[in-house]
Amino acid sequence: MFHFLKRLIIGKPLKTEQLKEEKLSIWQGLPILSSDALSSLAYGTEQLLTVLAPIGTAALWYSLPLTLAIICLLALLILSYRQIILEYPNGGGAYIVSSDNLGWFAGIVAGASLLIDYTLTCAVSVSAGVAAITSAFPYLYKYNTLIAVLCVLLIMFLNLRGLRESGNILSLPTYLFIFGITSLILLGFFQMFQNATYNLYPPTSNLPEGLTLFLLLRAFSSGCSALTGVEAVSNATPNFKPPESKNAARTLLMLGIILGLLFAGTSLLAYIYNITPKTNQTVLSQIAEHTFGRTLPYYYVQATTALILIFAANTSFSGFPLLASIMAKDKFMPRIFFNRGDRLNYSNGIILLALSSILLIVIFKSNIERLIPLYAIGVFLSFTLAQAGMVIRLFKGKSKNTKGKYFKILINAVGSIVTLLVLIIFAITKFTEGAWIVIIVIPIFVFTFYQIKKHYEAVAEQLRIPNDYKQHLTEKEHMIVLPIAGVNKVVLNTIAYAKKLNGEIVAFFISFDEKEEEKIEKLWEKWNLTDIRLVITRSRYRSIIRPLLRFINKITEENRQITVLIPEFVPLKWWHRFLHNQTAFIIRLTLLIKTDVVISTVPFHLTK
């Protein structure tokens, strides 16, 4: 049943040779890897205005120069990450750049930041998408958490089917969103030129009362949430068709141009319409309503916004598993994340991301305002480390292309300083709103990654074969122990197998009274098993594990190699397994942990 459902949902396994068929073209990669960045249009302007609006309408003008500053930072990030793509075609983004140029510690800090970023991207994007739906249909608001969880599960199943299939399905909403927002901006500007009666608030020579430089910096850092997702293309460079680096770089450039133009357009319309954030309606919804009214185009914009926000989580499902596999290869994460699944994707990473995102959505009740303070810390920490790493790489002359070296250094240096400033402002201003969680979690992740690496190195050291290893090998006398609960077909089957092995066979029976002992001895004689040594131990406290451990420890002291054969029958139906073999499972687990013996199960299959 399990395998049938798996094939139905995920599809048939793909051959390793088919991996090249799962690669993405530019037109497939753009919607998959840019949906996160483009979807931030739905809340980037809103986050900026949320800081300025309480000061008064006179402060809203400052959203325009702040938007320009954010677009300039976007340009720096695009130029910087294009360099990263060309220098590191195997992907990994900030993790690889930091590890290579700043050391392993900076690398795992960047890795932890990115993994947290991807998880929060999924939770924030889906939550924002659900918010867009409930803005249009308020009666659904009370079901927002349930809807968000279902959306995450849907995207998880799409990604488990493979990159190409998810790309084909998720490409259309992104292009529909771009068309919808572009139409919204063009029509909004057309209406503005036709009707010049908008009550705009011009700039003044002095800052409005209550608007300080710190608040402007806070508004700038909040608006920078529109830049989240820019790093996704560089992290997933290997997912592109050859030439991977060039296709990824072109995709990133297209993303930067589209995002910059649309962000500038929506911010300008918000200022022209004098829009301020509302609790029950998003800023983008207000812009669309002001431009189109509650007509079909308005619902089109809301529908495509909801779709791209929900499917923006797909960017995380492309980047998180790939980064986890790279870190697993470097032994900073469990090796299970390095393995590809049936559909040639990193399915374990996909499932972990989905479960982590769902946990966040449930804990924070799909509330964007509570999730975004957590969101930006990891993003801008990875931005800062990646650009600082590129500065060091260029200074040391390790770059593959030294043309324009000092210009590249300037771009990355300025970018790293600005993103560090945004990071510090976010950490200070959003600390009590939840940023403290990420500030604590990142060091925990870093410590965990270090311990995993340390463990793998210790294991490798213990398993490494020294040159004189054969001299230390000594042959031991072999003894086979059969823990039995009686005499039946399962036990006879195990004894028959044990006789084919080389070694002395001992059957070990634990009794609770004299009648049991007499019964087992008679059955032993009845089935002509007297050639097998039978050891009976009385357990006065009805324990099974302790007497068995005492017996095995005693014969182990005699310098013998012990093999424990556990008789076990396999029921016909899967649910029958919950009714049997619990003792066998406990014996296996206990012996595996506490003894240095070989443990094996001899199965006997039931037919009904």
Q: Which two tokens stand for residue 582?
A: 């619990």
- How far is the C-alpha of 116 from the C-alpha of 36, rounded, in Å? 15
| pLDDT at site 331 | 92
Q: What is the widest separation between alpha-carbon atoms in the chain? A: 107
- How far is the C-alpha of 148 from the C-alpha of 32, rounded, in Å? 19
Span of 20-34, 150-164, 544-558 with lowest mean pLDDT: 20-34
Q: Would the pLDDT of 172 be above 90? A: no
Average pLDDT over residues 163-183: 77
Question: Binning pLDDT at 50, 70 and 90, where does residue 17 land?
Answer: very low
Of 132 and 185, the one with more pLDDT: 185
Average pLDDT over residues 466-487: 78
Query: Are 336 and 348 contacting, i.e. CB atoms less than 8 angstroms apart?
Result: yes
Span of 63-67, 160-164, 323-327 with lowest mean pLDDT: 160-164
Q: Would the pLDDT of 27 be above 60? A: yes
Q: Of the candidates 1, 313, 272, which has an alpha carbon nearest to the alpha carbon of residue 148?
A: 313
Tokens 């059969």, residue located: 482
| pLDDT at site 288 | 92
pTM of the model: 0.76
Q: How does pLDDT run across 46-86, given as a tens digit for each residue?
A: 888 888 888 877 788 888 999 999 999 999 999 998 988 88
| pLDDT at site 447 | 95
Q: How does pLDDT run across 576-590, given as a tens digit for each residue?
A: 888 888 888 898 888
Amino acid at 91: G
| pLDDT at site 558 | 73
Q: Would the pLDDT of 473 be above 70? A: no
Question: Binning pLDDT at 50, 70 and 90, where does residue 505 land?
Answer: very high
Q: Would the pLDDT of 546 be above 80? A: yes
Q: Would the pLDDT of 2 be above 50? A: no
Q: How does pLDDT run across 383-412, given as a tens digit for each residue?
A: 999 999 999 998 888 887 777 888 889 999
Query: Are 556 and 595 contacting, i.e. CB atoms less than 8 angstroms apart?
Result: yes
Query: Are 503 and 563 contacting, i.e. CB atoms less than 8 angstroms apart?
Result: yes
Spatial CB neighbours of 287, under 8 Å, sequence gap ≥ 6? 184, 188, 266, 269, 270, 273, 275
| pLDDT at site 16 | 47
Query: Are 419 and 73 contacting, i.e. CB atoms less than 8 angstroms apart?
Result: yes
| pLDDT at site 19 | 47
Cα dihedral: 256, 260, 261, 264 (round 10):
170
Q: Which two tokens stand for residue 486?
A: 């009686």
DSSP 198-221: -------SSPPTT--HHHHHHHHH
- How far is the C-alpha of 407 from the C-alpha of 430, rounded, in Å? 34
Would you call 606 helix, strand, or coil by DSSP?
coil
Mean pLDDT across the chain, nearest whole number?
84
| pLDDT at site 22 | 56
- How far is the C-alpha of 154 from the C-alpha of 358, rounded, in Å? 12
Question: Binning pLDDT at 50, 70 and 90, where does residue 31 land?
Answer: confident
Q: Of the candidates 321, 389, 367, 332, which has an alpha carbon nearest to the alpha carbon of residue 94?
A: 389
Per mean pLDDT, which of 52-61, 153-162, 197-206, 519-528 is the most reliable? Answer: 519-528
Whether a cis peptide bond, with omega within 30° of 0, leads into 243 is yes
Residues in the chain: 608
Q: Reduce the secondary structure of 427-449 to three states and give it as a string.
A: HHHCHHHHHHHHHHHHHHHHHHH
Of 378 and 509, the one with more pLDDT: 509
Q: Of the candidates 370, 395, 448, 386, which has an alpha carbon nearest to the alpha carbon of residue 423?
A: 386
| pLDDT at site 482 | 94
Q: Of the candidates 510, 514, 513, 492, which has an alpha carbon nearest to the alpha carbon of residue 565?
A: 492
Q: How does pLDDT run across 85-100, given as a tens digit for each residue?
A: 888 887 767 898 999 9
- How far is the C-alpha of 378 from the C-alpha of 434, rounded, in Å? 13
- How far is the C-alpha of 317 from the C-alpha of 196, rounded, in Å? 46
Span of 310-314, 353-357, 441-445, 529-533 with lowest mean pLDDT: 310-314
- How far is the C-alpha of 117 from the C-alpha of 112, rounded, in Å? 8
Of 367 and 299, the one with more pLDDT: 299
Question: Binning pLDDT at 50, 70 and 90, where does residue 3 land?
Answer: low
Neighbours of 246 (CB within 10 A): 14
Q: Please state, for a pLDDT cut of 70, what percent of the chain lies above it.
A: 90
Of 370 and 283, the one with more pLDDT: 283
Q: How does pLDDT run across 509-530, given as a tens digit for each residue?
A: 999 888 888 899 888 988 888 8
State how far the alpha carbon of 60 is from the alpha carbons of 90, 260, 269, 369, in Å: 44, 20, 12, 20
Average pLDDT over residues 322-331: 90
Question: Binning pLDDT at 50, 70 and 90, where does residue 224 land?
Answer: confident
